[in-house]
Amino acid sequence: MYAATSMARLAALREEVRALERSGLAAAAARSCLAFGIEEVDGRLAGGGLASGLHEAAPAAPSPSDEAAATLFLAALAARFAMAEGKSGQVLWALTRRDLFAPGLAQAGLTPDRLLYAECRDDEEVLAVVEESVRHGSLAAIVGEVGRMAMPAARRLQLAAEEGGTAALMLRRWRRAGADPLEIPSAALTRWRIACAPSAPPYEGSGPQDGIGRARWRVALARQRGGPTYEWLLEAPDAEARLALPARSGDRPDQAQRAA
Amino acid sequence: MGGGGVSTRIEPFDQRHPSPTPPHQGEGLKGLKPGHWRPGARWAREAQPHSFILRSGEGALVTARRDGNRNLLAATCPAARALGLERGMPLAKARILVSGLDVRPADPQGDAAWLARLGLFAARRWTPRAALSGADGLWLDLTGVAHLFGGERLMCARILAFCARLGFAARIAVAGTAGAAHALARFGGDPLILCPTGREADALAAMPLAALRLDDETLSRSSRLGIERVGALAAMPRAPLQRRFGPDLLLRLDQALGRAPEPFDPIVPEEPPCVGLSFLEPIATAEAIAQAGGEAVRRLAIVLAESGLGVRRLALACDRVDNITQYVILSTARATRDPVHLHKLLCVKIEKIEPGFGIERLRLVADRVEPLGPQPIAGAMAGDRPAPDLALLIDRLAVRLGARRIHRLTALESDLPERSLARAGPLDAPVGWPRWPRPVRLLSPPEPVDRIMALLPDGAPLRFQWRGRAYRVAAADGPERVYGEWWRHAGERDAVRDYFQVEDEAGARFWLYRSGDGEDPATGDLSWHMHGLFG
């Protein structure tokens, strides 16, 4: 009899948790989601875009260029969050290394008048700064660069970000080769893996010295809450922080038009 | 001497001339009236062989002010006075008389600011009642103060020595009335004059009328009547003077002689808003300090609200039982007097305080304040939550990280990427960069690249090796030429960097540069460097 009551109680608790989760998801869906503006991407995202909460991006390989791509990806997301808040939207970048180059960020749409920097000493300080900022709610998005982020820290951040209605975008760095930062489970709403991909030549038959096209990335949605994973080939953000799907070869302007 | 007024006359004093050079032989020049000189005039021929024309004015410094259409000398250094230059003389004439004169524009605002600063110091240090006297002097009321400094003479000597250390040649006169002190300081001649009380009339008798602070019109009218000295004026019957000159002349005379009162407008030094809390029992726990800090902040907020000020920097001084004071200092991004916000900032810093055997007194001083009007209450009439203030978050992060670690980046006018950034305050409006392709990560310093294959003079690399890995270039763009900044370093005069954006076969993008233009060896040694990574 004891077992029966405990089973019943367990079932009741499970039902309660499920209801809570549903309400959480419903609340997330009710909140405005930030769309990429690309149908193929937004259609795959639960809620049609990125809700305010914790999002993670990591370079697909421990190479500096993949890390730069992941940085630029997060910069574009942060810029889109800031633009969605109008002219006054502000972004805080919590960093531990000094190699971020502001003119490059400005070219991905994250202009200097929208961007504040917080120089932190270590990962713990980055997490504390990000948590305090998302709780405060005066920023459009916060970008944090961390090497190590354990599950409890991620859960704290996710709860704080949901409460504050602010996006916490974490750049997960590779700490050593063979230790994929996205292997460790996390409470993030979405987790992305970014890799550089060969770009299309600027025009048909151009040689290696004939200029360079718009950069391309292999953007993998490694995990999302309430939705499947997927992978796209996307073009790097322009000055308005818009990512794009590469035009199919048939749709590209031909060489004659280019010349004209 | 009873209630004494002291007038100090201050004039800029050129440090390069500690002692005035002896007057030049051409003293006759002093009598030269402005405007009467013309070439070949008789008096000019009759005088001594003229040493005044093109006298060397090496080291003579004067300042010039503009008066309508003319440039007049505003002040002269002792060396210039020794050469016969006086204030009020036209600058053109001074230049004719003395060659190589060092002329600088007069700065009345700067002088006034210095005088106000000195007056403030006098009010804090020497006497509670100090006031500005014209554009070049200070009144100090010595009533009940002089004995603290060892008597009037010693006190004045100390003030003179202080001014000399600051680089000012000052003159001091002590007299029973403000008017007499004013006159003696400016026309007495000696750097220190003590006039016994009641003897002002004798001391002033030989002074010119200008010593009485009269306007130019009264002065010229009295000189037409032949009244030149104060003594002569004092001896004249009062009624005709009153009729002819109006009340001003007699009022000034009476004020100087102590027969009429004179208003005194003292400088009131502003103390920073401050509250203190003393405890019956010394406190030592963090909770107790936080609570006491909260109380102090609440009281300070009331003081600030009454005077319409907001805090930019706040200092918490904790006096310990063992007579050691611990300080906690915090600054805010924008003026505020919100007690809740300030208390939150303070609580973060409390762990930095070492209470020792206990703290018996807390003082909270608003070190730096700014005017802050009444603040609108964030309204919630529409029902939606108002956006929180970014400045509050910046303050809290600045307390956690240190104020220098939270900032913005703004553009500097430099083509070299590593010099094109400057820090700006977190609430400043930064400037953007030109839209040349720039990487998102910049390597500092640039890393050497070897085994490079590239066509000279301006071909992009075809393959290279960086950090032990070989890359083959699939696409490239460039060069973008950046010249060295010869105005910063002589070594950069010819230096050139050619930047290339290259993409390898896997799509990774790099920013490489070659030092040198590929033709002229003076521009660089043709070595290649990795400087950044595009995404």
For the domain that residue A106 is a member of, what is the CATH number?
Answer: 3.40.50.300
Torsion of CA A30, A36, A42, A44, to 10 degrees: -110
Q: Chain A neighbours among B 352-391 (CB < 8 Å)?
A: 387-390
Does residue A11 fall inside a structural domain?
no
Does residue B43 fall inside a structural domain?
no
Tell if the CB–CB gap between B475 and A206 is shorter than 8 Å: yes
Tell if the CB–CB gap between B431 and A66 is shorter than 8 Å: no
Q: Tell me, what CATH number does B305's domain have?
A: 3.30.1490.100
**Domain limit, last residue, from B348, B371, B394:** B371
Residues B58 and B191 placed together within one structural domain of the fold: yes
Per the structure, the complete domain to which residue B517 belongs is given by 441-534
**Domain limit, last residue, from B269, B287, B322:** B269
Does residue B293 fall inside a structural domain?
yes
**Domain limit, last residue, from B229, B253, B269:** B269
Per the structure, the complete domain to which residue A245 belongs is given by 34-200+212-259
Query: Looking at residue B412, what is its pLDDT?
Result: 92
Tell if the CB–CB gap between B396 and A132 is shorter than 8 Å: yes
Does residue A57 fall inside a structural domain?
yes
Touching check for B310 and chain A: CB below 8 Å? no
Q: pLDDT tens for residues B232-283?
A: 888 888 888 888 888 888 899 898 888 888 888 888 887 889 999 999 999 9
Tokens representing residue A141 in the block: 């998005």
Q: Is the dihedral of CA B293, B298, B303, B305 positive or negative?
A: positive
Residues B129 and B265 placed together within one structural domain of the fold: yes
Does residue B520 fall inside a structural domain?
yes
In order along its 535 residues, chain B shows pLDDT tens digits of: 333 445 555 554 433 333 333 333 333 334 444 445 555 555 545 444 444 445 566 778 889 988 888 899 988 888 888 888 888 889 888 888 888 888 899 898 999 999 999 999 999 888 888 998 888 899 999 988 889 999 899 999 999 999 999 888 899 999 988 889 999 998 888 888 898 888 888 888 888 888 888 888 888 988 888 888 888 888 888 888 888 888 888 899 898 888 888 888 888 887 889 999 999 999 989 899 999 999 999 999 999 999 899 999 999 999 999 999 999 998 898 899 999 999 999 998 888 899 889 999 999 999 899 998 887 766 555 555 566 788 989 999 998 898 899 999 999 999 899 999 999 999 999 999 998 899 999 999 999 999 988 888 888 999 999 999 999 999 999 899 999 999 988 888 899 999 999 999 999 999 999 999 888 888 988 999 999 999 8
- Say whether the peptide bond before residue B386 is cis (omega within 30 degrees of 0): no
Residues B187 and B264 placed together within one structural domain of the fold: yes
Confidence of residue A215 (pLDDT cuts 50, 70, 90): very high
How many CB atoms are located within 10 Å of the residue B65 CB? 17
Spatial contact of A73 and A234, defined as CB atoms under 8 Å apart: no
Nearest-Cα distance to chain B for A120, in Å, is 7
Residues B291 and B259 placed together within one structural domain of the fold: no
Tell if the CB–CB gap between B503 and A63 is shorter than 8 Å: no
Does residue B395 fall inside a structural domain?
no
Does residue A154 fall inside a structural domain?
yes
Residues B303 and B175 placed together within one structural domain of the fold: no
Please state whether the predicted TM-score (pTM) of the whole model is above 0.90. no
Does residue A19 fall inside a structural domain?
no
Burial letters for B243-263: b for 16+ Cβ neighbours within 10 Å, e otherwise? Answer: eebeeebbbbbbbbbbeeebe
Query: Looking at residue B136, what is its pLDDT?
Result: 86
Beta strand residue intervals within B163-225, DSSP E: 168-175, 192-194
Residue owning tokens 């300090």? B289
Q: Is the dihedral of CA A229, A230, A236, A241 positive or negative?
A: negative
Give the gyration radius of chain A's Cα atoms.
20
Beta-carbon-side half-sphere exposure of residue B228 (alpha carbons within 13 Å): 2
Number of domains in chain B: 3
Tell me how many residue pairs between chain A and chain B have CB atoms under 8 A apart. Answer: 181
Residue type, B451: R
Question: Under DSSP, is residue B252 helix (H, G, I), strand (E, B) or coil?
Answer: helix
Residues B264 and B295 placed together within one structural domain of the fold: no
Q: Chain B neighbours among A 65-84 (CB < 8 Å)?
A: 65-73, 75
Residues B101 and B249 placed together within one structural domain of the fold: yes
Residues B128 and B212 placed together within one structural domain of the fold: yes
Spatial contact of A48 and A184, defined as CB atoms under 8 Å apart: no
Does residue A127 fall inside a structural domain?
yes
Does residue A2 fall inside a structural domain?
no
Does residue A84 fall inside a structural domain?
yes
Residues B99 and B218 placed together within one structural domain of the fold: yes
Number of domains in chain A: 1
Q: Tell me, what CATH number does B141's domain have?
A: 3.30.70.270
Beta strand residue intervals within chain A, DSSP E: 54-59, 91-95, 115-119, 141-146, 167-172, 190-197, 216-224, 230-235
Cα(A184)–Cα(A186) distance, rounded to whole angstroms?
A: 6
Task: Please determine, for residue A244, whether its predicted confidence score (pLDDT) is greater than 50.
Answer: yes
Q: Chain B neighbours among A 133-192 (CB < 8 Å)?
A: 133, 136-139
Tokens representing residue B116 in the block: 């106000």
Residues B302 and B317 placed together within one structural domain of the fold: yes
Q: From the candidates A92, A143, A212, A219, which should be mutated to test the interface with B, based on the most B CB atoms within 10 A?
A: A212
Query: Looking at residue A75, what is its pLDDT?
Result: 95
Output the 3-class SS for B384-415: CCCCCCHHHHHHHHHHHHCHHHEEEEEECCCC
Does residue B39 fall inside a structural domain?
no
Residues B286 and B301 placed together within one structural domain of the fold: yes
Residues B222 and B86 placed together within one structural domain of the fold: yes
- Nearest CA-CA partner of A72 in A241, A255, A244, A252: A241
Mean of pLDDT over chain A = 87
**What is the average per-residue pLDDT within A72-90?**
91
**Of all helices (H) and strands (E), which one includes residue B325?**
strand B325-336
Does residue B399 fall inside a structural domain?
no
Query: Looking at residue B17, what is its pLDDT?
Result: 38
Touching check for A108 and chain B: CB below 8 Å? yes
- Nearest CA-CA partner of B147 in B169, B127, B172: B127
Torsion of CA B185, B186, B191, B195, to 10 degrees: -30
Does residue B307 fall inside a structural domain?
yes
Does residue B415 fall inside a structural domain?
no
Tell if the CB–CB gap between B507 and A64 is shorter than 8 Å: no
Helix ranges (DSSP H) in B246-308: 247-257, 286-307
Q: What is the DSSP string of A162-185?
A: HHHT-EEEEEEPPSSTT--TTTS-
Exposed, middle or buried by CB within 10 Å (0-12, 13-18, 19+), for B56?
exposed
Does residue A91 fall inside a structural domain?
yes
A chain contacts of residue B393, beta-carbon cutoff 8 Å: 132-133, 136, 138-139
Beta-carbon contacts of B272 under 8 Å, excluding residues fewer than 6 positions away, are B365, B366, B367, B368, B369
